[in-house]
Structure 1
Amino acid sequence: MKLRSSDLLLVASTAVITAALTIFGRNFISGEKKIKRKIKHFYGVDDPQFERAMSQLLGPPILHGNHVEPLHNGDEIFPAMLAAIEGAKRTITFETFIYWDGEIANRFASALARKAAEGVQVHVLIDGVGCNCINAESLRRMRDAGVELEIYHIANIARANHRTHRKLLVIDGTVGFTGGVGIADEWTGDARNADEWRDSHYRVEGPVVAQMQAAFLDNWMKTRAVVLHGDDYFPELKKVGNHRCQMFKSSPMEGSESARLMFLLSINSAQRSIKIGNAYFVPDDLTTETLIDAARRGVDVEILVPGDEIDSLFVKHATRNRLGRLLESGVRVYRFQPSMYHCKCMIIDGLWTSVGSANFDNRSFRLNDEANLSIIDGSFAASAGKAFDDDVSRSTEYTLSDWENRTVFQKAADLSASLLRSQL
């Protein structure tokens, strides 16, 4: 039977619409059932059951015998990372979201290219959205030197909204770095002014570095389709410190919302204090309710977010819209003043600390590939808490009165941004 032109048009239109809906669904709608009901408060973070829950519900297990060194701002972070790269003997694995053309990008490209030319196996994975220099000379220099370089999801339209937001650098399988910093000039300096972003990164040694390596390989296998293994990547790692650590990963492609579950379990287990510093704080309804419940239990809850120096006005408005009920419940909110605040840190009861790439928003909870390092150690939490308090001292408190006295325009802008918070 010969199809009429109108039938052919209908078939073609149906195919186009179906393809468009499929692409939209894969990019903007998760097929996974989202946790909707509150998690019951059974124990604190100092209870062995909390450690078992984190190991068994999130995985991989929390490991003993690690040492995590905090590094603050570009003046400390970039020299430490570049020195580790320079000292590499066998392998370098490096995954990042932001790689912006400039002096820092060139310095990293030169260091990585130099090691590859020396015979070190160098593997670099950069997100296609976070990189603004895919065809730049710095990336060509790395490839010409023998660096294996992949761009994450740049050609996959069906997954264009899914990004790797992970920040991982592992040297010889023995030393790892993770945190919030991007490879860009904006992170240089010491957060003294608007041109020097505030951020923290962490140098890690011990058995948990193998989990960091595994997190990198998760996306390397998806892009390069090659398995990296053996002693060059997974050497025997001895205990070197007292920090109990876990490096967990979260990815929508694996039907996982581990980042969100980690935050929910941690907040729900708080008994005394919660300190959350985050660049993109746009909590969903259940996370908001969990924070409110903690405040009603008598937990001191403090939230630190960017102030007027922020890289996204859209996020600023969405964040502000979500603060009302938290402020009404006694949660204290601070806005960092000197520069863009880009940290991602949560400290519970002065014992449990989680740092890494995950923001406090739906994009990190549901859409991005994330990796966070969590540490059970009182001394480390005290150090992280001091850094948080130091940042608060350079912030202004945002009160319920401030929120209630927003202008009509501000309220409209905040509400409009919040309606689209699922994509933040």
Structure 2
Amino acid sequence: MASVPSFRSVRYQAVAIVRWLGLLCLFGLFTGCSSLPTIVPDLALHSDRPVQLDGLHGPLSATQSKAILDHLNSSGQTTNIFERHLALEEAIVGSPLTTDNQVQLLQNGPATYEAMFAAIQSAQDHINIETYVMDDDTVGQRFAQALIDKQRQGVQVNLIHDSLGTLSTPAAFFQRLADSGIQVLEFNPLNPLVSRKTWTLNQRDHRKLLIVDGRIAFLGGINISGVYSGSSLTRASHPQSDGSTPTWRDTDLQLEGPVVAELQKLFLATWENQKGSPLAAKNYYPPPVHAGKQVVRAIGSSPDEPYSLIYATLLSAIGSAETSIRLTNAYFAPDPQLLAALIAAAGRGVDVKLILPSQTDSWLVLNAGHGYYEQLLRAGIKIYERRGVILHAKTALIDGVWATVGSTNLDWRSFLHNHELNAVVLGSEFGNQLQAMFDKDLAESDEITLEKWLHRSLGQHLKETFARIWEYWL
């Protein structure tokens, strides 16, 4: 397998070009620069409207919804996060909280890929897949063949891939898919001459989504690439000293139930927004079935909206936290509001712990994040760096009962420029699973203490200063 630098080299050279071109917006040569929103005061007020859940047959009554939320609340830690946050989240996001779902937590590439291949092989009607990276390597070729095989069996496959994320993937790779009958859509082409809509160089599709027959879905941080072939469960404590590729550590979800229809809506909306060719008439919305007991909300964010929906709901959840905040994230370069929300939570006694990378494929983002360590540590926030792997997971757990897993990083790019996708899962049952995963990562991490950090080298200071200059574009 190629090393991390060779895997990323072409793609990140292109990213660097995009960032430099983005600076031209300062001179008005491109569209105006975005800025992160200020959450206006009325969004911080409690909503008088009760939270409503959607079941198999549509919206539940207020009494039914309250009973389900009360049960979730009573079975977890002592917290008012449901009462304080969920109505606001619903007002911000617009997508419903759905009941009757089954959620399976997936860790690392091998487990996630095998579950995805099993779902693909079972497909009878259609497969919708959306990805940032799809490499022409062993894993990419395996996916390609599985999709081609299903297309030949009469299952319609529709694929969205980001133009920048797949820049190093040969055009012949996607042409082979198209020649088999698969509908292939390049998201926001880098070449403006082939753009199907207004050319926006800096907007990228960072979502990772697989939907099979409208009944089962996968989302999270994992791309389609051979770098995920290893498992951090067996190799985490053995950093590579021989120059071999480190394991990539990621987290994903397998979902069944009514929430899949909400994810389907997001996929089809992206296809339409990108002006893709008309899709074959398939059963994209089969009748929902009872799959489990989990309450889940799908949240998709787009830079076309006034603010990132995922960003806003995460800020609100952090602001409502009463006992604990557990964040694991691959790219951490917080904006002032997120930084203030974390510090305020620690100030009111919330136990805040962050697991961040010790090594990465993006030097600038890593060092931009380091520039915030001292401020966070002085506030009482505990920081740990995951060793022996390339951390790529993006998860949050608040008060043990509000959890989110998805593609969203805690940096300016995710909140401003990317199309992202997360799922929010409520209740202590899933919260306990995510906490157990967090604890495993914690055991394989090194704590960064304030005393240790204050004695870092001058060279490290200089790296942080340089990286902070560019963090808006990272």
Structure 1 length-normalised TM: 0.90
CA RMSD of the aligned region, Å?
A: 2.2
C-alpha displacement at 1:226, in angstroms?
5.0
Match of 1:163 in 2: 204
Matched residue SS, 2:389: coil
Contact 2:36 2:307 in 1 (8 A): no
Distance in 2 between the 1:226 and 1:49 partners? 43
C-alpha displacement at 1:36, in angstroms?
5.6
Alignment of 1:110-259 (within 5 A): 110-155=145-190, 157=192, 158-191=199-232, 192=235, 194-225=245-276, 232-259=283-310
- CA 48–420 in structure 1, closer or farther in 2 if over 3 Å, else same: same
1:329 aligns to 2:379 (yes or no): yes
- CA 180–369 in structure 1, closer or farther in 2 if over 3 Å, else same: same
Contact 1:51 1:62 in 2 (8 A): no
1:267 aligns to 2:318 (yes or no): yes
Distance in 1 between the 2:398 and 2:276 partners? 39
Match of 2:411 in 1: 361
Contact 1:45 1:349 in 2 (8 A): no
- CA 195–19 in structure 1, closer or farther in 2 if over 3 Å, else same: closer
Distance in 2 between the 1:53 and 1:143 partners? 43
Match of 1:339 in 2: 389
C-alpha displacement at 1:72, in angstroms?
0.8
Contact 2:302 2:419 in 1 (8 A): yes
Matched residue SS, 1:93: strand
Match of 1:64 in 2: 99
Amino acid at match of 2:356: V
Q: Determine what percentage of the aligned residue pairs are the same residue.
A: 33
Match of 1:83 in 2: 118
Match of 2:432 in 1: 382
Matched residue SS, 1:159: coil
Distance in 2 between the 1:356 and 1:52 partners? 21
Contact 1:217 1:228 in 2 (8 A): no
Alignment of 1:38-57 (within 5 A): 40=44, 46-57=81-92
Match of 1:35 in 2: 38
Structure 2 length-normalised TM: 0.81
Amino acid at match of 1:206: G
Match of 1:6 in 2: none
Distance in 1 between the 2:347 and 2:447 partners? 20
Distance in 2 between the 1:299 and 1:230 partners? 50
- CA 23–201 in structure 1, closer or farther in 2 if over 3 Å, else same: farther
Counterpart selection for 2:342 from 288, 291, 312 = 291
Match of 1:13 in 2: none
Distance in 2 between the 1:325 and 1:36 partners? 22
Distance in 2 between the 1:115 and 1:22 partners? 48
1:372 aligns to 2:413 (yes or no): no
The one-character-per-residue Cα deviations of 1:136-186 (angstroms, maximum 9, x if unpaired) are 443222111110001111146431110000011000000000000011111
Contact 1:37 1:286 in 2 (8 A): no
1:92 aligns to 2:127 (yes or no): yes
Distance in 1 between the 2:281 and 2:288 partners? 13
Matched residue SS, 2:210: strand
The one-character-per-residue Cα deviations of 1:51-105 (angstroms, maximum 9, x if unpaired) are 2221221120111111110111112011111111111100110000111221001
Match of 1:404 in 2: 454
The runs of at least 4 consecutive aligned structure 1 residues that moved more than 4 Å come to 18-23, 36-45, 226-231
Distance in 1 between the 2:46 and 2:381 partners? 22
Amino acid at match of 1:278: N
C-alpha displacement at 1:266, in angstroms?
1.0
Instruction: Identify which range, 344-353 or 191-200, moves more after superposition.
Output: 191-200
5+ residue gaps, structure 2, are: 1-23, 48-78, 193-198, 240-244
Matched residue SS, 1:189: coil
C-alpha displacement at 1:253, in angstroms?
1.8
Contact 2:133 2:166 in 1 (8 A): yes
Alignment of 1:17-36 (within 5 A): 24-26=30-32, 29-30=33-34, 34-35=37-38
Instruction: Identify which range, 252-261 or 70-79, moves more after superposition.
Output: 252-261
C-alpha displacement at 1:109, in angstroms?
0.6
Amino acid at match of 1:35: T
Matched residue SS, 1:369: strand
- CA 305–129 in structure 1, closer or farther in 2 if over 3 Å, else same: same
Amino acid at match of 1:159: T
Match of 2:468 in 1: 418
Contact 2:248 2:390 in 1 (8 A): yes
Matched residue SS, 1:131: coil
Aligned residues: 403
